[in-house]
Chain A
Amino acid sequence: MRAVWRTARFAIRRRRLQTSILGAVLMISTATAVLAVGLLVTVDGPFDRAFKQVAGAHLTVIYDADTAPDRLAGTGTSPGVIAAGGPYPVMTVNVPDGAEEPVPDDQSIAFLPGPLTVVGRTADDAARVDRLTLTRGRWPSAPGEVALSSTFLSRFHGFDTLGKTVRFTEGRSLKVVGVVRSVTASAQGWVLPADITAPTGYQMLYRLTDPDAPVSSVAGDLPVAGSQNYTVARLAATERAKTAIPFLVAFGAAGLLVAVLIIGNVVSGAVVSGFRHIGVLKALGFTPAQVTGVYLVMIAVPGMLGSLVGIVIGNLLAGAITSTLGDSLDLPAASGVSVWVDLGALLGVLTVIVVTALVPAVRAGRIPAAVAVSAGSAPRRGRGLRVQRALAMTRLPRTVSLGLGLPFARPGRTLLTISAVALGVAAVTFAVGLNRTIFAYNDDGTRASSYQLDVIDRRGAGPGTVPIADRPGTAKVGSGSRQTVGVTGVEGPVQMKAYEGDVTDRHGHRLIKGRWLTGPGEAVVGAPLLRASGTRVGDVIGVEAGGRSVPLKIVGLAILESDNALLTSWASATQIFPSLRVTIMEITLKPGTSVSAYDAALKADGYHTEATGDHGGQEGGEVVLLALIAALTLGIAAVAGLGVFNTVVLNTHDRARDFGILKSLGATPRQVLSIVVVSMAALGLAGGLIGLPLGTLARAVVLPKMAEPGGVLLPYTFTEIYPWPWPAGFALAGPAIAVLGSLVPAGWAARIKTASALRSE
């Protein structure tokens, strides 16, 4: 055993380059695998972990205001209750609605109309139930201050709320001083308990032995005004995070597969290229088992070291990404990678190493010493001979035909390399496509290419100001009204928008399905509303506000700015709002007009404006997703590139004699370099041509699955085959990966010392 260990140690030292490649490949492969699988697990189960970490409430109950607080506190000892929080005073305040749409300005902020539950609680890090996490600002410290829920605020992405005041219909106003995360989503805002002088109820929070226990099991006969089971918050929190799962599965699988292929190539290549060494060992008296042992140790030790470093890197990356992912997807406390993922990755990589090394190592152990010793010097039976001969007959320059023939000499190695490049290209194709779709979806949502400025209030504009349509730089103005309505069967408010003028003007909206409006009584809706109302295109929905209602037929499905939204004609809208007035103006500028200068001029005239990007743009979750796409694509492409690098190193090692012969015949270093690079470019092109349809297919399959949980339907144009010249670009990514990976070792091949190469006979 000592002999095996010593021999393997010296062999590792002697083959520093190969050992380094092996370590690097395993490091990047493991890091990519840990990142992908780790995130997969993290995204799938962060709510439950976070729920446990901050002692989320299984049951939130609001009792009538006239119930005695000591009786409420007593419910904390009811059977099945593990821990209880409260009673906390509750007040319900209402955001004003309707005709006078509130306007955000420098001091105040308006939300969608409707009730807000505000609870009186103090900052208590040791709370036994529903420990609140302050994510921004500070806790309220004086009356009139409020900390708002991050879950609630996520609906108003893009508005900076800190320091601003919210006005309510009750005549109250509260200044936002902080943003708080509650895993239970137990309220929309928190104030000091003393700030609630006339509670509308009391809130009790419970952790239960049976999370699904009914309210009556804790409340008994006490009068209950409302309750919420934790499954509601759970569903809301995980739904958005789940959009990332199909994507992570696709990338995780690609990353793992590339890693396995490259590890297999690197490991078997190391054994094959060491045949002569094996012969010497056998001549010295090593048994077949000992030879196999030497090669397993030679591979396993640097492989394991590389994997361990990869696990550390993967954890660091996953930690950084999951914490951002947690913030952006409003997951309470998404942590890093589970230790089981690390252990699994380590064991998995070890298995791959042993399996891929064992076959050639056992073969090495079995071959006769004389055969092994003469490996390289005895004439080899050529491989891929027909191809070589056919290539020689072509009119291609000889360096090109020699290069093209090279991969056929080692078909196994070539197949592994092509597969790795193909997966690399598929990852690039998929990633670029995903990126493109996310941007396109955002673009269509904000309609940034259709109009550049919103005027959401013109009350400040004085009587003498120039109307927008007459201003220099204005190409088109779409004026309309945005109102909050209710839709039968849909919980919560719905945004209704109606444009003045030609009803057939789409105002830049992209239709996914159906047709555009042609007259009154029709509506075009967004996919989330369709999902929430359980309707289909062609169905009729009831839209109501202020006691008036109108039936609207859904004629089309479009990408709209907000989740629950519908578009209808001005005539339909006036049936609910008889005194409907223009609240928004969407301005399309003439080409070459400066948006900022135009905007400044409008503001100077008292208009309240907003650039298109301000109300749309990429959401936090998308930014993280894009960062993830970039990280995983780079990882996979880097491993594929390293795979090519390794193949060229092995080929150069195998072909040192051939390159020496060519140089002795007068081949210049540049010609040798060309032969090697052409051989790899050919593999790269083959990989590219295989990877392109793979990536396109993955995109077509994975994208709709990603969009589905978020209630997003993608138009066909977002998943269709890439327009020319995109496919050519992706197919060329293969040769690009291959050429980049081969340049350095090809340079070594070109600089090979002819005399030494021929002497190594």
Chain B
Amino acid sequence: MTDARTYIQGPTRRPSGSPYLRPMETMVRLRNVRKEYGETAALAGVTLDIRPGEAVAVMGPSGSGKSTLLNMVAGLDRPTSGEVVVGGEEITAMGEAALARYRRRRIGMVFQFFNLLDDLPVLENVTLAAQLLGTPRRQALTRAMELLEELGIADRRNAYPVTLSGGERQRVGVARALMNRPALLLADEPTGALDTRSGDQVIDLLLDLNQIGQTLLIVTHDQRLAARCADRVVEVEDGRIATEAAR
């Protein structure tokens, strides 16, 4: 496992001040966000701010609206009402193409079930995000190899996802999420499908990232993850923020 110093000295280190965002007080701003599916309100007026460099864990029982909240921030779903601003951009007003560009440039996502493309080997899975952005292939390969080396899976670069362990797959997922140097890393139950040992490795990884200034929004049931990584824990119940506690 790599340590934070590697990232600080390595190519993933962010230059002082964000190259993507102008200096700001708030990275993510949700104002009275509601999301209704028919008559059911998945989110019932959520208001939340996340500062740059902050790690926020969203916890709550199944069906409480955690993943819906994450989808709103990722631009994967649109709120019924309310405002979602990320990096100073109001994303609720964006069209589909603009949202796609927003996802490429601003955010990286890590999923519970990894969501790797089974037909592509590890290296191609990781470079894909950069290639969609238009990064030249050689440059994308260099960057991907550096990330894989730092995450300790460079030797599996030609393997296909089906041959990897859960922990390895999640590390590939993290490498892919970091490929475009996102200002905000979103993680949906990143340890949910992993055994304890692999889960711990991922927790270490996220912790390291946060320590070098990566803003994190993590949806999790995992108390250990929240306890170790999060600066602040937000409890969601029935689509509302029930409690908010800084660590």
In chain B between 93 and 142, which residues have their CB closer than 8 angstroms to a CB of chain A? Answer: 96-97, 100-105, 109, 111, 113, 115-121, 124, 128-129, 131-133, 137
Closest residue of A by beta carbon distance from B115: A661
Query: From residue A437, how far is it (CB to closest CB) to chain B in Å?
Result: 47
**Residue A377 interfacial (CB < 8 Å):** yes
Among A25-33, A198-206, A238-246, A382-390, the stretch that binds chain B is: A382-390
**Residue A503 interfacial (CB < 8 Å):** no
Which of A663, A668, A751 has most B Cβ within 10 Å? A668
Among A34-42, A70-78, A624-632, A753-761, the stretch that binds chain B is: A753-761
Residues of A within 8 A of B160 (CB): 381-382, 385
In chain A between 357 and 388, which residues have their CB closer than 8 angstroms to a CB of chain B? Answer: 377, 379-385, 388
**Residue A709 interfacial (CB < 8 Å):** no
Residues of A within 8 A of B124 (CB): 388-389, 392
Which of A377, A662, A755 has most B Cβ within 10 Å? A755
B111–A758 touching, CB < 8 Å: yes
Q: Mark A662-684, 1 if CB is under 8 A from B, else 0.
A: 11111111110000000000000
Closest residue of A by beta carbon distance from B104: A666
Closest residue of A by beta carbon distance from B179: A665
Residues of B within 8 A of A303 (CB): none
Find A664's partner among B74, B97, B120, B169 (CB 8 Å cutoff): B74
Interface size range of chain B in the complex: 35 or more
Q: Mark A396-409, 1 if CB is under 8 A from B, else 0.
A: 00100000010001
**Residue A276 interfacial (CB < 8 Å):** no
A380–B128 touching, CB < 8 Å: no
Query: From residue A734, how far is it (CB to closest CB) to chain B in Å?
Result: 25
Query: From residue A536, how far is it (CB to closest CB) to chain B in Å?
Result: 65
Given contacts A381-B162, A754-B76, contact A667 B100 (CB under 8 A): yes
Give Cα A384–Cα B103 distance, bound, in whole angstroms: 29
B117–A658 touching, CB < 8 Å: yes
Find B132's partner among A382, A385, A398 (CB 8 Å cutoff): A398
Residues of A within 8 A of B97 (CB): 668-670
Residues of B within 8 A of A548 (CB): none
Query: From residue A669, how far is it (CB to closest CB) to chain B in Å?
Result: 5
Give Cα A586–Cα B176 distance, bound, in whole angstroms: 80
B117–A668 touching, CB < 8 Å: no
Residues of A within 8 A of B176 (CB): 665
B109–A380 touching, CB < 8 Å: no
A388–B120 touching, CB < 8 Å: yes
B100–A668 touching, CB < 8 Å: yes
Give Cα A381–Cα B76 distance, bound, in whole angstroms: 27
Give Cα A657–Cα B71 distance, bound, in whole angstroms: 16
B100–A663 touching, CB < 8 Å: yes
Q: Mark A274-313, 1 if CB is under 8 A from B, else 0.
A: 0000000000000000000000000000000000000000
Give Cα A759–Cα B37 distance, bound, in whole angstroms: 15
B113–A761 touching, CB < 8 Å: yes
Give Cα A660–Cα B100 distance, bound, in whole angstroms: 11
Give Cα A761–Cα B111 distance, bound, in whole angstroms: 11
Residues of A within 8 A of B77 (CB): 753-755
A379–B115 touching, CB < 8 Å: no
In chain A between 715 and 750, which residues have their CB closer than 8 angstroms to a CB of chain B? Answer: none
Residues of A within 8 A of B87 (CB): none
Give Cα A665–Cα B116 distance, bound, in whole angstroms: 11
Query: From residue A639, how far is it (CB to closest CB) to chain B in Å?
Result: 30
Residues of A within 8 A of B133 (CB): 666
Q: A662-B132, A666-B103, A761-B113 are in contact. List 17 more A-B contacts (CB 8 A).
A: A382-B160, A385-B160, A388-B124, A389-B121, A389-B124, A392-B124, A395-B137, A409-B119, A661-B117, A663-B103, A664-B109, A666-B132, A668-B96, A669-B96, A753-B77, A754-B77, A755-B71
A binding-site residues for B, Cβ under 8 Å: 377, 379-385, 388-389, 392, 395, 398, 405, 409, 657-658, 660-671, 751, 753-755, 758-759, 761
